[in-house]
Amino acid sequence: MQLKTQSFIIVFFFFCCICCAGAEADNEASALLSIKAGLIDPFNSLHDWKDGGAAKAHCNWTGVQCNSAGAVEKLNLSHMNLSGIVSNEIQSLKSLTFLNLCCNGFESPLSKHITNLTSLKSLDVSQNFFTGDFPSGLGKASELVSLNASSNNFSGFLPEDLGNISSLETLDLRGSFFEGSIPKSISNLSNLKYLGLSGNNLTGKIPDEIGKLSLLEYMIIGYNEFEGGIPKEFGNLTKLKYLDLAEGNVGGEIPDELGKLKLLNTVFLYKNSFEGKIPTTIGNMTSLMLLDLSDNMLSGNIPAEISQLKNLQLLNFMRNKLSGPVPSGLGDLPQLEVLELWNNSLSGPLPRDLGKNSPLQWLDVSSNSLSGEIPETLCTKGNLTKLILFNNAFNGPIPTSLSKCPSLVRVRIQNNFLSGTIPVGFGKLEKLQRLELANNSLTGGIPEDIASSTSLSFIDFSRNNLHSSLPSTIISISNLQTFIVSENNLEGDIPDQFQDCPSLGVLDLSSNFFSGVLPESIASCQKLVKLSLQNNLLTGGIPKAIASMPTLSILDLANNSLTGQIPDNFGMSPALETFNVSYNKLEGPVPENGMLRAINPNDLVGNAGLCGGFFPPCGKTSAYTMRHGSSHTKHIIVGWIIGISSILAIGLAALVARSIYMKWYTEGLCFRGRFYGGSKGWPWRLMAFQRLDFTSTDILSCIKETNVIGMGGTGVVYKAEIAQSSTVVAVKKLWRTESDIEVGSGDDLVGEVNLLGRLRHRNIVRLLGFLYNDTDVMIVYEFMVNGNLGDALHGKQSARLLVDWVSRYNIALGIAQGLAYLHHDCHPPVIHRDIKSNNILLDANLEARIADFGLAKMMVRKNETVSMIAGSYGYIAPGELLLTILTIFIFVG
Amino acid sequence: MAEYGYSLKVDEKIDIYSFGIVLLELITGKRPIDPDFGESVDIVGWIRRKIDKNSPEEALDPSVGNCKHVQEEMLLVLRIALLCTAKLPKERPSMRDVIMMLGEAKPRRKGGKKNETLTANKESM
C-alpha cells in the first residue's frame, strides 16, 4: 500500500512537472476515487475505478467519458443501485457537461457543490430519494439545457435562480415535496419546451407569467395544491401540445383562450373544481386527441362544437354536473375510441351513428337520464369491448348487432327500461365476461346458446319478466362464477347438471317458479359460497350431501315446500354461516350440533313439524310416534313422565348449580365442564352472530382472574384462548346489578346486544356472539393483537408502534370511518358515547377498530347513577359533563 | 326536563367531541389530562393556548413531526380536531364532514404511479 502511494506520488510529481494537463487528469482521477469512496456500491459496478495504471486510464472507467483534451466530460452512474453521498469533490470535474445519477438509491441531500459544475449541459438526478432543499446556484450553469430531478424526496421551495438558466429546455421536478408557489422567474426560461412540476405540494396561484414561455410544448403541473384557476395567458402558449393539470386543486371556469391552442393534442384537467360551462371555443383546438375533464363541477350542456375535433380519441366528461343532450355530432368523429360521460344528468338519446364511423372501444354513459334506443351501430368497427349503460332510461330492444360483436368483454345495461327478448348470440362471444341485464322488462327465455359460452363469468338477468326453463347445461359454463336470475317467472326443474361447475360461487334462482326436487348433484360445486333458492316451489328433501360442501356459507331455502328432516350433519357443515329453511314443510328434531346450536330461530320458523331447540320439545319418541302414527294416549303418558322427571331434574340441577356457582364466586376458580353459572341455575346460552369454532363451555373455562386483560366502565375483559380450535377471542363480562334482574331488563339487554351484533364494518370490532343467562351477559369479540390506542400512544412500548404520521393519520381516518358508519349508516343511529383512545383497538395491520359501542348507553339506562355516567373524563366537553350529571340527577330524583 | 331550560339531547355531537380528543392525542402524543398542561385544565385548553401564542408546532408530537412537511400535514389534522372540540355542539362537524376534511389532509407520500401521466383509465363499476 505504502509502495503504491509512493509510486503514485512520484508519478504525480512527474506529471506535475512535465505537463499541466496531465496533472489535471490525475486530479480528476483522484476526484473520481473520492466520489467512489463516498458511494455504497452493492453490486461493485465501479470495480474498475482504481488508482494506478496509465495516465487517462480513468477515461475508460465504467460510466466515465473524457473529451479530446482528456478531461472528464460525461459521467453516467445511472441504474447502479448506488447510495451513500455524492462527494463534494465532484466540483473538481470542471469540464463535466453531462451528469447522470438517475435511478439509484441516494437518500442524502444533494451536494451543493454540484452547482459549481458550470459547464453542465445535462443534469439528471431523477428517481432517487434525495432529501432536503434542491441546491440553489445552478443558475450559474448558463449552458444547462436539461435538468431532471423528478421522483425524489426534495422539499423546500423551488430554487428561484432556476429562472437564470435561459438555455434550459427541459425542467423536470415532478414527484417530490416541493412547496411554496411556482416562482415568477420561471417566465425567463424563454427556451423552455418541457415543464414538469406535478406531484409536489406546490401552492398559490399558477403565475400568469407562464404564458410568456412561448416555446413551451409540454406542461405537466397537476397533483399539487394550487389555488385560483388557469390564467387566461395560457392562451399565448401557441406551441403547447400537452397540458396536464389533473388533481391540481384549481377551479373557476376553463378560460375560453385555451381555444387558441391549435397544436394542443392532450388536455387533462380531471379531478379539480372547475365550474361553469365547457367553453365552446374548445371546438377550435383542432389537434386535440385526448380530452379529460372528468371529476369537476362543470355544468350546462356539452358544446356541440366538440364534434369539430376530428382527431379526438378519448373524451372523458364523467362525474360532472352536465345536463342536456349528448351532441349528435359525436357519432361522426372518425377517431373516437373512448367515450365516458357517466354520473352526469345528461338526457335524450345517444347519437344515432355512435360507433359507425370510429373504432369505438369503451362506452360508459351509466347513471344519467339517457333515453331512447341503444344505437345499432356501436360495434360497427368491431372494437367495442366495454358497453356500460346502466342506471338510465334506455328503452326498446337490445340490438341484435351487440350479440354479434366479438370484441365485447363487458355488457352492463341493467336498470333501464329495455324490452323484448335477449338476442341469441351472446354465448358465442368468446371474450364476453360480464352480461348484466338486471332490472329491465325483458321477456322470453334465456337463449340456449348462453349455456355454450366458455368465457362468461358473471351473469345477472334478475328482475325481468323472463319465463322459460333454465338451459340444462347453463350451470356448467366453465368460467361461471355468478349466476343470478332471481325475480323472474322461470319455471321447470333445477337442471341436474352440476357435475361440472368448477368456478361457480354464487347461484341465485330465488323468487321464481322452479319446481321439482333440489338436485343432490349441486353438492359437487366445490366453490359455491352462496346458494339462494328461496321463494320457489321446490319439493322433496334437503340432500344430505349439501352439508359437506366445503365453502358454502349461505344457504337460503326459505319459502318452498321442502319436506323431511333437517339432515343432522348440517350443524357440522364446514363453512355454513346462514342456513334459512323457514316456511317449508320440514319436520322432526332440529339437530343441536355445531352452527345449528346457535341458529337464529327466524331461520327455522314456519315449519309446523320441527321440534326441539327453540321449538316445543320433541320428547324422546315424538319423532318416532309421529312417523309411525302411534296412539295419542301413549304420547300423553310419555309426555307426563318426561314432564315430571324434568321438573325434578331442573330442581336438582339448580341446587347443584348454586353450590358450584357460590364456590366459584368465592374462590375465583374456573374449571372445564361447568355449564351452570347463574345463581338460579339457568344454563348459559351462546348466541352466535357468525360461525364459531368454540362452545360456551370453552369460553366459560377461561373466565378467570389470570386471564383479565382490562377493566372498564362497562365490565371486565378476559382473553380466552381456545386450544382446540386455536382461536383467541376477547370476552367482556358486563357489570350487572340485582336491580336489573328484578325489573326484568335482561331481555332488553339481550335485544340490544343482538342489534349490535349485526353491525359490520372494517373499523369496528366484530361481535362474534354473546353468552347470557338470567343474571349475566358476556360479549365475545375478536381479539386484537396490538392492544388499544391509548397504550400504543401513552404506554411504555409506545416507541415501537405508531412512530410515523402516516400510520397515525390512517388510524384517525379509520376511527372516523367507523364512527361515520355508526352515525350515518345504522338505523337507528348508534351513538357510542364513550369514544376514547382506550376504546380504539388496533388490529394486526395497525388498523383502528372501535370497541365498546353501544354499551355505554345500555349501562346508563339500566343504572341511572352518577358513577355509571356515560363517557369518560377528559373526553366530554366540560359543559356537557355537568349537564349530563344534572340530567341524571333529575332523572333519578 | 324542558322547564329546567336544559334539553340534553345526547346526539352524535358528543361522539364528535370525544373523537376530536382522540385526534389531539394522535397529534400531540399526550393524554387528554396531563399535569404538564398547567393552569389550562385539559388538552383542548392547552392546545388553544399554544395557538393563541402562535406556536401550534410546539404542541406536535416530536417523535413523529420531525420535519416540516410532516408538521404541516399534522397541523391540517389539528385544525379538524379543533372543529370537533368546539364548545357548542352545533358548531361541531358531522362525521361525514370529518371524513371529507381528513381526505383533504391526507399525507402526501409517493405512490408508485405518482409521476406517471396516466390517461384517466377510470370506469364506473
Which DSSP string corresponds to chain B?
Answer: -GGGT------HHHHHHHHHHHHHHHHH---SS-GGGTTS-SHHHHHHHHHHTT-GGGGS-TTT--SHHHHHHHHHHHHHHHHHT-SSGGGSPPHHHHHHHHHHT------TTTTS---------
Single-letter amino acid, residue A124: D
Which tens digit of pLDDT belongs to each residue from A829-869? Answer: 788 888 899 889 998 888 999 987 656 555 444 433 333 34
A246–chain B Cβ distance below 8 A for any pair: yes
Of the pLDDT bands very low, low, confident and very high (cuts 50, 70, 90), residue A46 is very high
The tens digit of pLDDT for each residue in B54-80 reads 888 888 988 887 788 888 899 999 999
The ipTM (two decimal places) reads 0.86
**The pLDDT value given to residue A679:** 40
Query: What are residue A184's phi and psi, to 5 degrees?
Result: -65, -25
Q: What is the pLDDT of residue B117?
A: 36
Q: Which residues in chain A touch residue B41, judged by CB atoms under 8 angstroms apart?
A: 878
What's the pLDDT at A479?
A: 87
Cα A361 to Cα A385: distance, rounded to the nearest angstrom? 5
The stretch A396-405 carries a mean pLDDT of 96
Per-residue confidence (pLDDT) for residue B54, from 0 to 100: 85
For the cut 50, the answer to whether the pLDDT of residue A15 exceeds it is: no
| A388 in B contact zone (CB under 8 Å) | yes
pLDDT reported for residue A560: 95
Interval A271-283: pLDDT, tens: 999 999 999 999 9
The residue of chain B with its CA nearest to that of A363 is: B123
Pick the most confident of A242-251, A610-619, A647-656, A801-810: A242-251
Q: What percent of chain A has pLDDT over 70?
A: 83
Chain B hits for A802, Cβ within 8 Å? 64
3-state DSSP percent of chain A in helix, strand and coil, to 5: 30, 20, 50
Check if the beta carbon of residue A875 is closer than 8 Å to that of residue A818: no
Chain B hits for A820, CB-CB cut-off 8 Å, are: 95-96, 98-99
Most confident of A332-341, A472-481, A585-594: A332-341
- Chain mean pLDDT for chain A: 83
Interface test mutation site (partner B, options A244, A819, A869, A885, max chain B beta carbons within 10 A): A819
**Cis amide bond preceding A591, omega within 30:** no
Residue A229 touches chain B, beta carbons under 8 Å: no
| Cβ partners under 8 Å of residue A54, min gap 6 | none
Q: Which residue, chain included where needed, has cell 320457489?
A: A536
CA atoms within 13 A on the CB side of A738: 2
Phi-psi region of A869 (alpha: psi -120 to 50; beta: other; left: phi over 0): beta
Pairing of strands A131-133, A122-124: unpaired
pLDDT at A869: 42
Residues 6 or more apart from B11 whose CB is under 8 A from it?
Answer: A831, B89
Asked which of A422-426, A531-535, A736-740, B101-105 is least confident by mean pLDDT, the reply is A736-740
Q: What is the reported pLDDT for A680?
A: 41
Q: Look up residue A79 and give its three cell numbers.
A: 441504474
pLDDT of residue A747: 55
Q: Does domain B2-124 have CATH number 1.10.510.10?
A: yes
Residue A814 forms contact with B (CB below 8 Å): no
Residues of A in contact with B21 (CB under 8 A): 835-836, 874-875
Q: Does A496 participate in catalysis according to the annotation?
A: no
Identify the weakest region by mean pLDDT among A153-167, A635-649, A749-763, A849-863.
A635-649
The highest-confidence range among A593-597, B37-41, B101-105, by mean pLDDT, is: B101-105
Q: Residue A294 and residue B122: Cβ atoms within 8 Å?
A: yes
DSSP for A577-636, written as a single string: -EEE--SSEEEEEPP-SGGGGG--GGGT-S-TEEESTTSSP--TTHHHHHHHT--HHHHH
Q: Please report which confidence band the pLDDT of residue A435 belongs to, taking 50, 70 and 90 as the band edges.
A: very high
A332: buried, middle or exposed (CB in 10 Å: 19+, 13-18, 0-12)? middle
Percentage of chain A modeled with pLDDT above 90: 55
| Residue A196: per-residue pLDDT | 95
Question: Is pLDDT above 50 for B112?
Answer: no
Residue of A783 and A557 predicted with greater confidence: A557
Answer whether A875 sits within 8 Å of B32, measured CB to CB.
yes
pLDDT digits (tens, 9 = 90+) for A142-201: 899 999 999 999 999 998 888 889 999 999 999 999 999 999 999 999 999 999 999 999
**Measured between alpha carbons, how far is A280 from A307 in angstroms, rounded to an integer?**
11
Q: What is the pLDDT of residue A645?
A: 55
Nearest CB to B99 within list A177, A201, A820: A820
Residues 132-151 of A with CB under 8 A from B: 150-151
How many Å apart are CA A341 and CA A584, to the nearest integer? 48
Nearest to A837 among B8, B25, B124 (CB): B25
Q: Is A877 in contact with B12 (Cβ distance < 8 A)?
A: no
Cα separation of the two ends of chain A: 95
Place of cell 389534522: B77
Whole-angstrom distance between the N-terminal and C-terminal Cα of chain B? 51
What's the confidence (pLDDT) of residue A23? 58
Question: What is the Cα–Cα distance from B10 to A870, expressed in whole angstroms?
Answer: 10
The better pLDDT of the pair B14, A253 is held by A253
Q: The pTM is what?
A: 0.64
Q: Does A163 touch chain B (CB under 8 A)?
A: no
Name the band, by pLDDT with cuts 50, 70 and 90, for residue A11.
very low
Residue range A214-237: mean pLDDT, rounded: 95
The distance of A362 to chain B (nearest Cα, Å) reads 9
| A826 interfacial to chain B (CB closer than 8 Å) | no
Distance CA A103, CA A90 (A): 19
Question: Looking at the partner chain, which of B4, B12, B98 has a beta carbon nearest the beta carbon of A829?
Answer: B12
With CA atoms as reference, the chain B residue closest to A887 would be: B8
* A353, A776, A834, A852: the active-site residue: A834
**How many CB atoms neighbour CB B21 within 10 A?**
26
pLDDT the model gives residue A832:
83
Whole-number Cα distances in Å, A874 to A765, A788, A842, B10, B25: 23, 17, 21, 17, 11
Question: A364 and B33: CB-CB below 8 Å?
Answer: no
Q: Least CA distance to B95: which residue of chain A?
A: A820
| pLDDT score, position A12 | 46
- Rounded to a whole number of angstroms, the CA Rg of chain A reads 38
pLDDT score for A715: 78
Neighbours of A79 (CB within 10 A): 12
**A317, closest residue in chain B (CA to CA):** B120
Q: Residue A540, Cβ neighbours under 10 Å: how many?
A: 15
For position A648, what pLDDT does the model report?
54
In chain A, positions 334-353, which contact chain B (CB-CB < 8 Å)? 340, 342-343
Question: Is the confidence at residue A403, as pLDDT, over 50?
Answer: yes
> Among the listed ranges A134-143, A583-592, A682-691, which one has the minimum average pLDDT value?
A682-691
Q: A348 or B7, which is more confident?
A: A348
Residue of B nearest to A344 (CA): B124
A198 touches chain B (CB under 8 A): yes
Give the residue, A440 or A627, on which the prediction is more confident.
A440
Written as nine digits, the cell of B116 is: 406517471
**Banded pLDDT at A25 (limits 50, 70, 90):** low
Does the beta-carbon distance from B87 to A837 stay under 8 Å? no
Which of A12-21, A86-95, A698-707 tops mean pLDDT? A86-95
pLDDT of A551 strictly over 90: no
Question: B64 and A808 in contact by Cβ < 8 A?
Answer: yes
* In the predicted structure, residue A736 carries a pLDDT above the cut 80: no
> Taking a C-beta distance cutoff of 8 angstroms, is the pair A556, A533 a contact?
yes
Whether residue A179 lies within 8 A of chain B, CB to CB, comes out as: yes
Query: According to the model, what pLDDT value does residue A478 have?
Result: 85
Look at residue A782 in the predicted model and tell me its pLDDT.
Answer: 87
Task: Closest CB to B11: pick one of A314, A364, A831.
Answer: A831
Alpha-carbon torsion angle A290, A295, A298, A299, nearest 10: 110
List Cβ neighbours of A277 (8 Å cut-off, separation of 6 or more). A253, A298, A299, A300, A301, A303
Q: Give the residue, A291 or A598, on which the prediction is more confident.
A: A291
pLDDT in tens, A80-130: 999 999 999 999 999 999 999 999 999 999 999 999 999 999 999 999 999
Q: Per-residue b/e over A866-885, b at no fewer than 16 CB within 10 Å?
A: eebbbbbebbbbeebbebbe
Express each pLDDT in A864-885 by its tens digit.
Answer: 333 334 456 677 776 565 444 4
Chain B nearest-CA distance from A44, in A, is 27
Q: What is the pLDDT of residue A709?
A: 82
A240 CB-near residues (< 8 Å, 6+ apart):
A216, A217, A218, A219, A234, A261, A263, A264
The answer to whether the CB atoms of A812 and B15 lie below 8 A apart is: no
- The residue type of A629 is G
